Chains A and B, each alone.
Chain A
Amino acid sequence: MSTVVEVLSIAGSVSIQDHGRAGYQRYGVAEGGAMDRFALHQGATLLNNSTDAAVLEMAGAGARLEISGEKTAFACTGAPMSLQINGQTLRWNSSFVAAPGDIVEIGSASQGVYGYLHIAGGFEVPAILGSRATHSRAGFGGHEGRVLIAGDKLAAAGSGIDIQMRGLPPEDYFNSELIRIVWGAQAHLFDQNIRSRFLDTTFTMTMRRDRMGARLSADDETFLPASGLTGISDAVLAGDIQIAGDGAATVLLADRQPTGGYPRIATVISADLGAVAQMRSGRQFKFGLLGVSEAVDVLRAQDRRVRQLSSLLQPLVRDPSEITDLLEYNLIDGFTTGEEPVPIQPSAKK
Chain B
Amino acid sequence: MNGHEENPDQYPLLRQAGDAAILVEFGAVLDLAVNAAAQAFDARLREVSIGGVLETTPTLRSVLVRYDPLNKDCETLHRELQSHLQERNWLQAEPGGGRRKWLVPVAYGDDYGPDIEDVARLLKSDVDEVIRVHCALSLRVLTLGFAPGFTYLGLMPERWDLPRLNYVKPEVPAGAISVAVRQTVMTSTPIPTGWRTIGQTPFSNFNLKIDPPFVIGSGDEIGFRAIDREEYEYLAQRVAAGEAILQPAEAK
Least Cβ–Cβ distance between B19 and chain A, in angstroms: 4
Counting residue pairs across A and B whose Cβ atoms lie within 8 Å, the total is 144
Q: A281 at interface (Cβ–Cβ under 8 A)?
A: no
A269→B206 CA distance, assembly (Å): 31
Task: Considering the complex, give the chain A residue whose CB is closest to the CB of B72.
Answer: A296
- Residues of chain B within 8 A of A258, CB atoms compared: 57, 145-147
Contacting residues of chain B (38-63) with chain A, CB-CB under 8 angstroms: 42, 54-62
Stretch at the interface among B109-117, B122-130, B213-221, B238-246: B213-221
Question: CB-defined interface of A247-280 with B at 8 Å, one 1/0 digit per residue?
Answer: 0000000000111000000011110000000000
Least Cβ–Cβ distance between B195 and chain A, in angstroms: 13
- Size category, A interface: 35 or more
Question: CB-defined interface of A305-333 with B at 8 Å, one 1/0 digit per residue?
Answer: 00000000000000000000000000000
- Residues of chain B within 8 A of A234, CB atoms compared: 23, 59-62, 64
A27 touches B18 (CB 8 A): no
A232 touches B64 (CB 8 A): no
Least Cβ–Cβ distance between A164 and chain B, in angstroms: 30
Contacting residues of chain B (125-151) with chain A, CB-CB under 8 angstroms: 143-150
* Residue among A27, A185, A186, A296 making CB contact with B206, cutoff 8 Å: A27
B143 touches A259 (CB 8 A): yes
Q: A28 at interface (Cβ–Cβ under 8 A)?
A: yes
- Size category, B interface: 35 or more
Least Cβ–Cβ distance between A252 and chain B, in angstroms: 11
Chain A: interface secondary structure?
mixed
- Residues of chain B within 8 A of A161, CB atoms compared: none
Stretch at the interface among A35-43, A85-93, A133-141, A341-349: A133-141
Given that A183-B3, A184-B3, A235-B23 are known contacts, is A26 also in contact with B56, CB under 8 Å in the complex? Answer: yes
Q: B168 at interface (Cβ–Cβ under 8 A)?
A: no
Interface residues, chain B, CB within 8 Å of chain A? Answer: 1-6, 8, 15-21, 23, 29-30, 42, 54-62, 64, 66, 69-70, 74, 143-150, 188-189, 205-206, 208, 213-214, 217-218
